[in-house]
Amino acid sequence: MSIKEKKPWPTQAAMEQIYKRKLWGGLSSEFYSGDGSHHPEILNPYIEVVTSFLSSFEAALIVCDLGCGDFNVGKHLVKHTQKYIAVDIVEDLIDRNKKLFKVDPLEFLHLDIAKERLPKADCAVVRQVLQHLSNAEVQCVTQKLSNFKYVILTEHIPEGDFVPNEDIISGQGTRLKKQSGLDLLASPFHLQVKDSKTLLSLTDKENKGLIVTKLYRMF
């Protein structure tokens, strides 16, 4: 079997099916990364706090967007960076993004963030991506985050107390169905950071829980 004939990795195949079957909605759009990437009440406050962080540096940062999706979020952040590298596991989605978003300083890459080497950058943006991955894949990504100076991580978690990091099969769902959510600082990940700060916490009235964005300053 040639390289081109190889089947996609299981997570890649799952994500391709999500877009193909429009499991995250967006029936009128070929690719739609869910209401969390489009609903103004969720999107606008996020863009505001991340823009504020990126604009606080005298020398603009190089940003790597790990799991850029349909790029409805990232397109607002590019102009505040020295370079914006947007990656996703779905190759057709990356090809579509390349055609739609042709601005400097922007680069799109097709790769699996759990299995492949990540681009060099000052800051990683990981927005509601890890919540769809198994603990094994989250661990693979977590081990690479120390290569960045800053990590802006957004996760959908239950309100109140919960047991973090219950395992799931990578795909459409999240740990919310198990009344759990990701906490990279807790077991089994134990992400080592200099400090952390909550940039934003929003109540998701429709799907319940909180959408929390944290800034980690790495060692």
CA–CA separation, 129 vs 88, rounded Å?
10
Q: Can you give the pLDDT at residue 205?
A: 82
Render pLDDT for 68-90 as a digit per residue (tens, 0 to 9): 999 999 999 999 999 999 999 99
Tens digit of each residue's pLDDT (9 = 90 or more) over 103-152:
989 999 999 999 999 999 999 999 999 999 999 999 999 999 999 999 99
d(CA 34, CA 1): 35
Q: How far is CA 56 from the centre of its chain?
A: 22
Question: Given pLDDT bands bounded at 50, 70 and 90, which one contains residue 7?
Answer: low
Mean pLDDT of 170-191: 97
Does 8 score more than 90 pLDDT? no
**Identity (one letter) of the amino acid at 37?**
S
Residue 6: pLDDT band by 50, 70, 90 thresholds? low
Give CA–CA dist 45/51, Å, rounded. 10
Q: By percentage, how much of the chain surpasses pLDDT 70? A: 95
For residue 2, the model assigns a pLDDT of: 42
Average pLDDT, the chain: 94
41's enclosing H/E stretch is helix 40-54
* Residue 108 CB neighbours (<10 A): 22
Q: Tell me how crowded residue 117 is: count the other CB atoms within 10 A of its CB.
A: 9
Q: How is domain 8-218 classified at the architecture level of CATH?
A: 3-Layer(aba) Sandwich (3.40)
Is residue 89 within 8 A of residue 113, CB to CB? The reply is yes
Residue 28, Cβ density class (10 Å: 0-12 exposed, 13-18 middle, ≥19 buried): exposed
What is the distance of C-alpha 75 from the center of its chain? Answer: 14
Provide the pLDDT for residue 9. Answer: 66
User: Taking residues 50-56, what's their average pLDDT?
Assistant: 98
Domain edges within the chain: 8-218
